[in-house]
C-alpha cells in the first residue's frame, strides 16, 4: 500500500514523534509499503532525527519520503491510504484528489484509556464526495487500535539489558561523569526526567536527595535549567543531550525510574517495563485529569503510585515528595517494579497499532 501521513506540529515533539514512529513501523512490516510523510515543522523533526534536512522533499529511508508541508507545497497524487494525525486537516486540494482516487482516509486520534474509546474506534465519519473516512483510536485494549510497538521490541530490550556494558557505554556517550557511573555500578540508581515546566520538580529533587539510595538524575538539555545537584547530598543531576528516538529508548531501559510526558514517551516508558511517572499533556477544563484517572484505573501499579501521579500532575509538592519517598525506599518499590514489568508484558501480548492499522486498511480497502 501507498500511505500518506500528515503531521502538523502543534507544539513539543509528540506529534512528529508519533508520526515518525508510525511511518517506520508500517514500512518495517512490509517492504512494499511506501509512505509520504508530510510535516509542517522540519526543525522540530530534526531535534529527534538528525538525518532530517531542511529540504522540500527528501528520502528518509528507501520507503519513506519526507515532504515539507508548507502552504505552497506542490501536491502529489494521494496514496491508497491517507492518515491524518490528530485532525490536522490535509490541504483541500489534496482532499479533492483523494476523492478522485478513492483513497481511504484515516483520522488517527489521540491516545486515551477512557472506556468510550472502544465504542468510537473504527467508526466512519461521513464525508461529501463519498470519501470514506474512519476514526482510528489507539488504546490499551483489543477493542481499540492498540499501542505503537514495533515487532520484537521487548526482545530487543531484554537483549540490551542482558549486556550491562551497553548501559555504561551509553551513559559515557551521554556525558555522564565517571563518578556517577561508578555509583550506578554498585548500589546507585538512575532516574530520567522528561516533563513539562509545571511539574513539581523540587519534590523529586528533595525525595531523591533524601533517599537511602544514591541517585543519578538525567535531564534532557533545556529542561528545568534551574535544577542543580543539591549541595551536601549524594544526588547527582546530569544534563544530557537530546537524542534520537532509538537512543531515547535505551535511556528509558537504562533507568530505574522514568518521568515521562505527553503521548509518545509514556508508551516507550511503559515498554521499558520500569516504574514510571506520567505527566499528561494538559487540556482545558482538566479533561487531562479524567484521562489520567482512566489510565491509572487500567494499570496494575500500586495505589501509592496512582496517588503520586495525581499529585505530580496537579503540582502538589509536599504530597508528591512524600509519595515518592514512600515508593522509592519502601517495600512499595519492589511492587512497583514488578507491576511495571507485568503490565508491559501483558500489553505486548496484544497486537500493536501498525499491525492493526494495516489490517484495518486492507479490510476497508477491499470493500471500497
Q: Which residues are the active-site residues? A: 15, 263
Cell reading at 118: 472502544
Least distance (Å) between residue 255 CB and ligand TRH: 12
Using CA atoms, how far residue 49 sits from 44, 84, 243, 265, in Å, is 9, 21, 8, 15
Minimum CB distance to ligand TRH smaller for 221 or for 232: 221
Least distance (Å) between residue 328 CB and ligand TRH: 22
Decide: is 262 part of the binding site for ligand TRH (CB under 6 A).
yes
Minimum CB distance to ligand TRH smaller for 50 or for 124: 50
Decide: is 195 part of the binding site for ligand TRH (CB under 6 A).
no
Restricting to residues 40-79, which ones interact with ligand TRH according to CB under 6 A?
48
Using CA atoms, how far residue 77 sits from 31, 81, 96, 99, 203, in Å, is 20, 11, 11, 11, 53
Decide: is 263 part of the binding site for ligand TRH (CB under 6 A).
yes
Least distance (Å) between residue 220 CB and ligand TRH: 4
| Residue of the chain from 46, 102, 229, 245 that contacts ligand TRH (CB under 6 A) | 245
Least distance (Å) between residue 11 CB and ligand TRH: 5
- DSSP 8-state class, residue 66: E
Minimum CB distance to ligand TRH smaller for 244 or for 346: 244
3-state secondary structure of 178: helix
Question: Which residues, in sequence order, are CB contacts of 24 under 8 Å at separation 6+?
Answer: 61, 64, 150
Q: How far apart are CA 144 and CA 138, in angstroms?
A: 6
- DSSP 8-state class, residue 37: E
- DSSP 8-state class, residue 50: T
Minimum CB distance to ligand TRH smaller for 15 or for 256: 15
Residues near ligand TRH (CB under 6 A) = 10-15, 17, 48, 194, 220, 242-245, 248, 261-265, 281
Amino acid at each position: 500500500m501507498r500511505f500518506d501521513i500528515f503531521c502538523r506540529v502543534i507544539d513539543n515533539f509528540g506529534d512528529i514523534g508519533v508520526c515518525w514512529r508510525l511511518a517506520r513501523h508500517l514500512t518495517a512490516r512490509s517492504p512494499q509499503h511506501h509512505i509520504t510523510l508530510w510535516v509542517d515543522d522540519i526543525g522540530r523533526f530534526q531535534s529527534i532525527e538528525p538525518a532530517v534536512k531542511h529540504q522540500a522533499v527528501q528520502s528518509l529511508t528507501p520507503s519513506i519520503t519526507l515532504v515539507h508541508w508548507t502552504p505552497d507545497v506542490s501536491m502529489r497524487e494521494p496514496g491508497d491510504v491517507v492518515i491524518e494525525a490528530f485532525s490536522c486537516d490535509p490541504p483541500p486540494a489534496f482532499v479533492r484528489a483523494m476523492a478522485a482516487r478513492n483513497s481511504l482516509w484515516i483520522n488517527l486520534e489521540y491516545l486515551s484509556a477512557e472506556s468510550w474509546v472502544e465504542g468510537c474506534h473504527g467508526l466512519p465519519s461521513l464525508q461529501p464526495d463519498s470519501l470514506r473516512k474512519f476514526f482510528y483510536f489507539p488504546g490499551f485494549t483489543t477493542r481499540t487500535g492498540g499501542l505503537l510497538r514495533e515487532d520484537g521490541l521487548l526482545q530487543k530490550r531484554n537483549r540490551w539489558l542482558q549486556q550491562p556494558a551497553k548501559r555504561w557505554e551509553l551513559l559515557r556517550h551521554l556525558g555522564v561523569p565517571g563518578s556517577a557511573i561508578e555509583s550506578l555500578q554498585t548500589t546507585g540508581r538512575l532516574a530520567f526526567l522528561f516533563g513539562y515546566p509545571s511539574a513539581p520538580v523540587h519534590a523529586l529533587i528533595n525525595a531523591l536527595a533524601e533517599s537511602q539510595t544514591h541517585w543519578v538524575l538525567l535531564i534532557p538539555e533545556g529542561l528545568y535549567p534551574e535544577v542543580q545537584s543539591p549541595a551536601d547530598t549524594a544526588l547527582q543531576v546530569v544534563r544530557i543531550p537530546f537524542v534520537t528516538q532509538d537512543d531515547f529508548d535505551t535511556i528509558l531501559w537504562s533507568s530505574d525510574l522514568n518521568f515521562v510526558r505527553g503521548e509518545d514517551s509514556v508508551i516507550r516508558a511503559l515498554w521499558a517495563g520500569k516504574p514510571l511517572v506520567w505527566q499528561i499533556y494538559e487540556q482545558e477544563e482538566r479533561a487531562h485529569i479524567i484521562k489520567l484517572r482512566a489510565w491509572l484505573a487500567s494499570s496494575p501499579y500500586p495505589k501509592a503510585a496512582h496517588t503520586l501521579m495525581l499529585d505530580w500532575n496537579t503540582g502538589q509538592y509536599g504530597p508528591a515528595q512524600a509519595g515518592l519517598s514512600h515508593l522509592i525506599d519502601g517495600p512499595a518499590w519492589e511492587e512497583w517494579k514488578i507491576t511495571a514489568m507485568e503490565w508491559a508484558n501483558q500489553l505486548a501480548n496484544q497486537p500493536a497499532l501498525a499491525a492493526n492499522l494495516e489490517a484495518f486498511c486492507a479490510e476497508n480497502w477491499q470493500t471500497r
